Amino acid sequence: MPAAVRETPDAVVIGMGPGGEDVAGRLADAGLDVVGIDERLVGGECPYWGCIPSKIMVRSANLVGEAHRIPGMAGISRVHAEFRPVARRVREATDSWDDKVAVDRFTGRGGSFLRGTARLTAPGEVTVLGTDGRETVLRPRQAIVIASGSEPLIASVPGLASTPYWTNRELIEAEELPESLLILGGGAIGLELGQAWQRLGCDVTVIEAGPRLLGREEPESSDLVTRVLTTDGVSVHTGTDIVGVDHVDGRFQVRCRRGERLTGERLLVATGRKVALDRIGGGVLGVPADARALPVDERLRVVGTAGVWPVGVWAIGDVTGKGAFTHMAMYQADVAVRAILGQGGATARYHAVPRVTFTDPEIGAVGLTESQARAEGLADVRVATTDLAASSRGYVHGANGNAGFIKLVASGDTLVGATSAGPSGGEVLGLLALAVSARVPVSELAATIWAYPTFHRAVGTAVAALG
């Protein structure tokens, strides 16, 4: 191996996903000598395998779903879904999984980029093994920012590891639609992609070990999405323990404890994500080997490093365990940049984290669920739920693709959580996220004028039901 190169930049950013790229770029804009590192693509999961390409698939599939609603509403329709145009648009949007534009964008701001695997090797030291086999040792003068993201969590199922299963990456890169797809996991990723592929012509089966889909959301959300998926033709199996997976003659077989044998041409593992702290040398930070995230303070500084490390250490995004969302990484990036540059400002708060599952209808949620609010022992927990159709006095009807509801969770006169499920659930969520974040009194929301006939009018109906 060639002798290691030693450099002393001002700052090092490990992981150039949306948050890491933002931090690195803004520090470079401020005049710092910044080295950004990533072993894969600058931009991270979101633009190449997550948010952007998956929503291209979802949008395409929703067009198919909407066309099927024309009969009985506006005439007749014949729909023939094709996957190749969808795959082509995904390749175009990702530049065929080439990050040259993103790298040039960063270096154009004055930063330096290293493609390779970064690891903390001593306090204040980052060692990078480049894809060319060359080793670079970085000892930054001012800051290390860890934005290393997460990776798919592969369920520990007998036989699974030896099969050619897919994660979301292989599915997003697929050029042909398989005849059938088995999905392990009934969370957001599995349901979004499962519904989309079913509508595009694939026979989809979702297998969830828990008692319901979207187990972290409100039960009403689970009921709605289960009803919609099964109407679309998706086969849903909840409360299903898997005892083994086989791959024989080009087909997968999932063996279940209750005796079912579910088969499909492809299998997607969508059982969650994990943070691999050992890969980045988390032990150097004093983090236990089995830790699920890095502990950070209100300004995203890694707990236990201040005054101990010769340089400041910050962490943002998935690795902090505050939510595996692009918007979380970007939010934390802003807090961290201001801390590194000594600009002060607001500290990080997590009582109003929004999340959206982009099924049709969308399931948007913010803050606490009803069960979480009660488990935390909040005082005077009150709940109200209203159906979109009821709030619009019949102008909205679920059979037309407008099924949904608003659910509010309040503690006293403060809204602490909300769910907005419907065709524009993620958009309506915006006003609810603001209300929870700013702790707008319920009495103030009750005095608000809500436009008619809109989906967000249901929020006013639910507020009135809180009493």
Q: What is the pLDDT of residues 238-262, one digit of tens each?
A: 999 999 999 999 999 999 999 999 9
First to last CA, the chain: 71
pLDDT over 90, % of the chain? 90
Calpha distance 173→164 (Å, rounded): 15
> Contact at 8 Å (CB) between 9 and 141?
yes
> What is the mean pLDDT of the segment spanning 298-326?
95
Q: How does pLDDT run across 367-389, given as a tens digit for each residue?
A: 999 999 999 999 999 999 999 87
Residue 393 pLDDT level (bands cut at 50, 70, 90): low
Q: pTM (2 decimals)?
A: 0.94
- What does the pLDDT read at residue 175? 97
Q: How does pLDDT run across 262-279, given as a tens digit for each residue?
A: 999 999 999 999 999 999
The answer, yes or no, to whether residue 207 has pLDDT greater than 70, is: yes
Of 407, 416, 410, 413, give the one whose Cα is nearest residue 350: 416
Calpha distance 178→160 (Å, rounded): 19
pLDDT over 70, % of the chain? 97
- What does the pLDDT read at residue 402? 84
Report the b/e string of 226-238 with b at 16+ CB within 10 A.
Answer: bebbeebebbbbb
Of 11, 13, 1, 39, give the one whose Cα is nearest residue 135: 1
> Regarding the domain with residue range 160-271, which homologous superfamily does it belong to in the CATH classification?
FAD/NAD(P)-binding domain (3.50.50.60)
Going from N- to C-terminal start, the domains of the chain cover 5-43+99-150+275-340, 160-271, 354-466
CATH topology of domain 354-466: Enolase-like; domain 1 (3.30.390)
Determine how many CB atoms are found less than 10 A away from the CB of residue 277. 22
> What average pLDDT is seen over the chain?
95
> Contact at 8 Å (CB) between 136 and 18?
no
Of 276, 242, 45, give the one whose Cα is nearest residue 163: 242
Residue 397 pLDDT level (bands cut at 50, 70, 90): very low
> What is the mean pLDDT of the segment spanning 51-64?
97
Calpha distance 356→358 (Å, rounded): 6
Q: Which residue has the tokens 């395409």?
A: 60
Q: How does pLDDT run across 144-162, given as a tens digit for each residue?
A: 999 999 999 998 999 999 9
Q: Of the CATH numbers 3.40.640.10, 3.40.50.1000, 3.50.50.60, 3.40.50.300, which one belongs to the domain with range 5-43+99-150+275-340?
A: 3.50.50.60
> Contact at 8 Å (CB) between 248 and 161?
no
- What does the pLDDT read at residue 288? 86
Q: 303 exposed, middle or buried (CB, 10 Å; 0-12, 13-18, 19+)?
A: middle
Residue 306 pLDDT level (bands cut at 50, 70, 90): confident
Lowest mean pLDDT among 110-114, 116-120, 390-394, 417-421: 390-394
Integer angstrom CA distances of residue 230 from 54, 204, 316, 385, 422: 21, 10, 38, 23, 17
Q: Do domains 5-43+99-150+275-340 and 160-271 have the same CATH topology?
A: yes
> Contact at 8 Å (CB) between 145 and 14?
yes
Backbone angles phi, psi at 44, to 5 degrees: 75, -160
